[in-house]
């Protein structure tokens, strides 16, 4: 396995800004339809990422360019037992996220946003978040916990290599999942074809 070495380290607030998502008041889906896309918790999945087609498009109550997400921003879920990061892609529309996310914006060229998102997904970061979460029923992540997350920074070439490996792993996982689903469907079809006649005869005898 290739060796990866860090050349810098610190806490997250030294490399990025952390802010809350858009402060909606009331239910988002009750707002009039419009041209601003909203990322909510239900639109995210740690395996498949953000469901862009499923976003609500609403009229933003108090428009502000500062509220709009930018490419390479990272949104971090703040509720639940695990806190997943999602890197924002290029978009032709204006996008905001709900207040159940923190918006993390990298402020240095020394770290790739995609690498930072990967690092935040790993067990050491998740353990840090879990240790600082509060709440008895639904866990909530506080900003100061995110701000003090220890960050390791390898050289850019190594960061990109890790990002590429992670992308390859996700692609392989998606292919394997599809193969498993296809095989399961095939076996279900065989079961229906082979076993259904016996059940039909049994029902006819009892009727």
pLDDT in tens, 13-70: 999 999 999 998 888 888 889 999 999 999 999 888 999 999 999 998 887 788 899 9
Neighbours of 81 (CB within 10 A): 10
**pLDDT > 90? residue 80:** no
Average pLDDT over residues 188-199: 88
% of the chain at pLDDT higher than 90: 68
Interatomic CA distance for residues 58 and 67, integer angstroms? 14
- Looking at CATH, the fold of the domain delimited by 6-154 is given as Adenine-n6-DNA-methyltransferase TaqI; Chain A, domain 2 (3.90.220)
Mean pLDDT of the chain: 90
pLDDT at position 175: 95
Residues 85, 74: contact at Cβ < 8 Å? yes
Query: What is the H or E stretch that residue 85 is in?
Result: strand 85-87
Listed by start position, the domains of the chain span 6-154, 155-207
Q: Could you read off the pLDDT of 81-99 as tens digits, one per residue? A: 789 999 998 888 999 999 9
**pLDDT > 70? residue 207:** no
Residues 78, 71: contact at Cβ < 8 Å? no
Q: Where are the alpha helices (DSSP H) in 94-155?
A: 113-121, 123-132, 143-147
- Which of 70, 68, 77, 71 lies closest to 36, judged by CA? 68
The token pair at 182 is: 């296809």
Residues 95, 68: contact at Cβ < 8 Å? yes
**pLDDT > 90? residue 6:** no
pLDDT at position 139: 84
Residues 62, 96: contact at Cβ < 8 Å? no
pLDDT at position 48: 87
pLDDT at position 47: 86
Q: Where are the alpha helices (DSSP H) in 15-84?
A: none
Residues 37, 57: contact at Cβ < 8 Å? yes
Residues 38, 58: contact at Cβ < 8 Å? yes
pLDDT at position 74: 98
């Amino acid at each position: 396995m290739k060796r990866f070495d860090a050349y810098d380290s610190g806490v997250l607030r030294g490399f990025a800004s952390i802010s809350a998502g858009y402060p909606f008041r009331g239910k988002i889906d009750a707002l009039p339809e419009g041209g601003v896309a909203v990322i909510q918790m239900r639109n995210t999945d740690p395996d498949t990422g953000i469901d862009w087609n499923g976003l609500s498009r609403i009229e933003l109550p108090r428009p502000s360019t500062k509220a709009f997400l930018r490419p390479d921003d990272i949104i971090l879920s703040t509720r639940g037992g695990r806190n997943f990061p999602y890197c924002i892609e290029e978009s032709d529309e204006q996008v905001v996220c709900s207040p159940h996310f923190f918006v993390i914006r990298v402020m240095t060229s020394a770290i790739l946003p995609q690498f930072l998102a990967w690092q935040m997904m790993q067990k050491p970061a998740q353990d840090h978040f879990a240790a600082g979460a509060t709440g008895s029923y639904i866990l909530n992540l506080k900003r100061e916990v995110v701000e003090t997350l220890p960050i390791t920074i390898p050289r850019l070439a190594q960061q990109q290599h890790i990002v590429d490996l992670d992308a390859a792993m996700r692609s392989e996982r998606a292919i394997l999942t599809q193969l498993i689903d296809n095989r399961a469907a095939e076996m279900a079809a065989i079961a229906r074809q082979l076993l259904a006649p016996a059940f039909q005869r049994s029902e006819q005898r009892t009727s």
